Amino acid sequence: MSNIIIGITGASGAIYGYELINQLLKIDQIKKIAVIFSDNGAKVWEYEQMPKIPKNKKIEVFNNNDFFAAPASGSAQYNAMFITPCSMGTLAAIATGTSSNLIHRAADVTLKERRKLILLVREAPLNLIHIKNMETITLAGGIIFPASPFFYNRHEKLNDIVSDLISRLINISGINLPIKEWGK
C-alpha cells in the first residue's frame, strides 16, 4: 500500500494537480492521499475553474499552516510526495531548506527520509537561479519533472495530453501504470 502527499502551489497548471488526484484515486494500492494547497495554489485552482477535490475516504486535505499535520513528520508513513504544479518560489524554499509552511516542511521531510519527491515545474523560460535550485534539489534526491507534454500519442484533446503526462509522472514515483511507449 502507498501513501502519497500532493502539494498544489500557485503556479498555473492546476489541471495537473486535479488529474493527479483523480488518477491516484483509481489505483488500488493507494491507501491515503494527503492534499495540501498553498494560499496561491488555492487561488489559482479557483481561477482556473478546477472542480472541488473529490470526496473520498482516501483523501485528507491539510491546512498549509498546520505543522502538527502528519506530513510534517518523518514518522508518518508516506511513500512519495508530488508538488504539482510547483512554483519557482516553492522550488527555491525546498532548495534552501526553508520550511515556512507545510508543503515546504513535507518536502524537506520527504528528502531527509530518502523518499521520492517529484516536482512538476512549468515555468518558462528558466533563469539561472531556477536552474541552480533544480540542481540542488536533484543532488538532494528530488526529481524535477518539467510539464513538457509529448505528442507522439497524437491526442486531439488537452485532457488526454494532461492525462498521459500525469500517468508518466506517477510511473516515475514507482507506481507502474500502463502508458503508451515510444515506438509501440
**pTM surpassing 0.85?**
yes
**Given this model, what pLDDT does residue 184 score?**
66
Q: Based on C-alpha coordinates, what's the Rg of the chain?
A: 15
Quickly tell me which residue has 518560489 as its cell.
89
Q: pLDDT at position 112, please?
A: 98
- Per-residue pLDDT of the chain (184 residues), as tens digits, is 799 999 999 989 999 999 999 999 999 999 999 999 999 999 999 999 999 999 999 999 999 999 999 999 999 999 999 999 999 999 999 999 999 999 999 999 999 999 999 999 999 999 999 999 999 999 999 999 999 987 777 778 988 899 999 999 999 999 987 776 766 6
Q: What is the pLDDT of residue 179?
A: 73
pLDDT at position 31, please?
Answer: 97
Parse the chain into domains and list their residue ranges: 2-172
Q: How far apart are the first and last CA of the chain?
A: 30
The confidence score (pLDDT) of residue 127 equals: 98
Q: What is the DSSP-derived secondary structure letter of residue 17?
A: H
Q: What is the pLDDT of residue 107?
A: 99
Q: Which CATH class is domain 2-172?
A: alpha beta
What was the pLDDT predicted at 76?
96
48: helix, strand or coil: coil
- Nearest CA to 59 among 28, 21, 85, 103? 21
Question: Distance (Å, rounded) from C-alpha 53 to C-alpha 122?
Answer: 22
Q: How confident is the model at residue 85, as a pLDDT?
A: 97
The predicted structure's pLDDT at residue 151: 78
Interior/surface letters 99-111, b for 16+ CB within 10 angstroms, e for the rest: bebbbbbbbbbbb
Q: Which residues are paired to 37 by β-bridges? A: 8
